[in-house]
Amino acid sequence: MKNAIILYDGPCVLCNAWVNRLCKWDKNDRLRFATLDSKTGRDFFKENKIDPKKSESVVFWIPKHSFALGAQATFELFKTLGGGFRVISFLGILPKFITKGVYKIIARNRYRWFGKFDACPLPNIKYIHKFLV
């Protein structure tokens, strides 16, 4: 399997906390990360003809293969991690109006609930190879 690219909201404290956790959990080194506004992010939006202003706060992307947005992206992410994380991906069988609704509530309130960095923090040097520009 090709590496999956996770596009995330760089200044978001919650998103960065998740990215840090995912780096630790990714034992098979399958995940790569880039911010939504990075060159990689801009390439994704252009290639898939998606308006970045209307995007969700997370994208799961396997270039030239497939992508998922928002709640579906998180389910794909956990499938990719494998092992015990696959159990979480089964939440994807819930009706989409529920998973999308919960995701949108969190995404809409993430800055208010968790905060926002002035700039995207630098990754841990141990995981620098996972981050794309």
The rounded percent of the chain whose pLDDT value lies above 70 is 98
Region 103-132: mean pLDDT is 93
pLDDT at position 89 over 90? no
Which pLDDT tens digit goes with each residue over 37-77? Answer: 999 999 999 999 998 887 777 999 999 899 999 999 999 99
> Count of domains in the chain?
1
Full domain range(s) for residue 68: 4-130
Q: When comparing pLDDT for 114 and 89, which is higher?
A: 114
**Average pLDDT, whole number, for the chain?**
91
What is the rounded distance in angstroms from the CA atom of residue 49 to the CA atom of residue 42? 10
Alpha carbon distances (Å) from 48 to 7, 38, 52, 59: 14, 15, 10, 12
Look up the pTM and report it: 0.90
What is the rounded distance in angstroms from the CA atom of residue 38 to the CA atom of residue 9? 10
